A and B are shown apart, each in its own frame.
Chain A
C-alpha cells in the first residue's frame, strides 16, 4: 500500500537501525536485516514519526538535485510501500 503525501511514516515496533559505531548501516527486524545504502538510508533515517512523506521527498530532491523531482517522489512511494508490506514501517 502506497502512503499519502501527508502520511508520517515511522519504524514498526521491533524494527531499528544497528548501532552507529558499526561500519554499515543495517535495518534490523525479526529474522531479517536490510543493508541500507545511499537513498535507502536517507529515507529510513527520516522514518522517525516526525517527517511527512512530502517532507522526505523534498529532502531527497535537495540531496539528489540532478534527478527529476517527480521520479524521486515515485521511487520514494514505491520504496515506502515495500517497507510497509514487509512490516518494517507504519504510516
Chain B
C-alpha cells in the first residue's frame, strides 16, 4: 500500500457503559464494561491530548450515558483544552440546569439529545424507564445556552408512525439539526430485530414525510435521515471506512475502529493503557485489517463502488454471513443478499402476527 494514511477526524469516547436507560436497540456490546475497569480522569485527559496530536478534530462523548461520569465537567474541560470540538451524545439524564451551565462553561460545543419517541408511553416503553418528560425539560434548558443542539430520534417499527409528532417537537424547539436514525442491527438491536424492523410500507411513508420536512425546515433545522440499510441498494460506508476517519475508545481503554467491532472474532484490539493512540492508529493489526482493498473479496474487489462504500460494514458481514471479509450482505450485489431478502420477506408475511405489544423485548442491562 503506497497511499498515505490520513489522520482520524473523530474520537468517539465511550466514557462509561453505565446508563439510566435500557433501550432495546442500544449499540453497546451485549457484554458491558464494568465501572471498576473504566479509564480515570487523567487517563482520558492523556488520550485527548494524544488524539489532538494525531490530528483528531472532534471528541464525541458517549456511553452508556456520559453524564453518569461524576467527572464529566472535568472531562469536557480537558478535551477542550486539548483543542478538540466537544459533543455530548446523551439521554439528558442525570442533569439539572446548574450542571448544564457548568458543562457549557467548561467548553461544551454541542449537545445531542436522544428521544425514544414523540409520545411518553412509547418512549418510556422503548427505554424501559419513565424519562420522556425529563428529556423535554432538558430541551427547554438548552435554549438558554449558545451551543449547537441536535435532536436524535431513533426510529423503528414501533415508533415510526409518530414521525409527524416528532417533527412538531422539532419545529417547536428549532434545533440546528435533527437526526432520524433508523435502528442498526447490532447488539441489542439485533436481539430485538423482529420487533424493530420497519415494514416496506412504513419506510416509504417515512421517506415521503422526511423529504417534505427537509424542504420545509431548510435554513432552520438540518434534517438527517439514516436509512434502515436492510432496505438499501448499497451498503453504508460504515464509519467512513475501517480505520479511515474514526477511532472509538471503550470505557476500559480498548481502541476499536467502530462501535460493534468487538463482535468480530480472532481480532486483538489494543488498549490505550498499553500503547499510544498514534501507534494503534498507524500500526496495529486491528486497524490495518480492513484498510485499503487487499482484504476484499469479489464482487467488492473489482467493483466501481469500492472507494465509495469500502465493502460496507465488516461487523454486519460477519454477523449475517459468518465471514468477516464478505461483501456486506445488504448490498444488492452481495452473494449473501438472499439472507437479508429472506428476513424482509418473513417480516411481510408475519407483520400482522408479530406482537406489537410490549411483551418480549430484550432490554439493555447495566454493567456490574
Contact = CB atoms under 8 A, between A and B. Distances in A.
A14 B147 contact: yes
A18 interface: yes
B176 A26 contact: no
B58 A33 contact: yes
B222 A14 contact: no
B7 to A, nearest CB: 11
B57 A30 contact: no
A12 B176 CA distance: 8
B221 A87 contact: yes
Given A12-B148, A26-B57, A30-B148, A1 B110 contact: no
Interface residues of A, number: 20
A15 to B, nearest CB: 7
Interface residues of B, number: 22
Central interface residue in A15, A21, A33, A87, by most chain B CB within 10 Å:
A87
A86 B221 CA distance: 9
Interface in B1-43: 9-10
Nearest to B220: A87
Contacts of B146: 13-14
Nearest to B221: A87
B147 A28 contact: no
B83 A87 contact: no
A80 to B, nearest CB: 11
A29 B57 CA distance: 10
A49 B85 CA distance: 22
A22 B83 contact: yes
B83 A19 contact: yes
A87 B85 contact: no
Interface string A1-32: 10000000000111110110110001011110
A65 to B, nearest CB: 32
Contacts of B219: 1, 84-85
B18 to A, nearest CB: 25
Contacts of A21: 83
B148 A13 contact: yes
B177 interface: yes
B87 A30 contact: yes
Nearest to A33: B57
B221 to A, nearest CB: 7
Interface in A18-66: 18-19, 21-22, 26, 28-31, 33
Contacts of B109: 14, 16, 28, 30
Given A19-B83, A30-B87, A87-B222, A13 B58 contact: no
Given A13-B147, A13-B148, A22-B83, A87 B57 contact: no
A87 B9 CA distance: 20
Contact of A14 (B9, B149, B221): B149
Contacts of A13: 145-149, 176
Interface in B174-227: 176-177, 218-219, 221-222
Contacts of A14: 109-110, 146-149, 176
B250 interface: no
Interface of B: 9-10, 57-58, 83, 85, 87, 109-110, 112, 145-150, 176-177, 218-219, 221-222
Given A30-B150, A87-B222, 10 more contacts: A1-B218, A12-B176, A13-B145, A13-B176, A14-B146, A18-B57, A28-B85, A85-B218, A85-B219, A87-B177
Q: Nearest 5 pairs between A and B by C-beta?
A: A14-B148, A28-B85, A87-B176, A13-B146, A30-B110
10 contacts: A1-B218, A14-B109, A14-B146, A18-B57, A26-B57, A30-B109, A33-B58, A86-B222, A87-B177, A87-B221
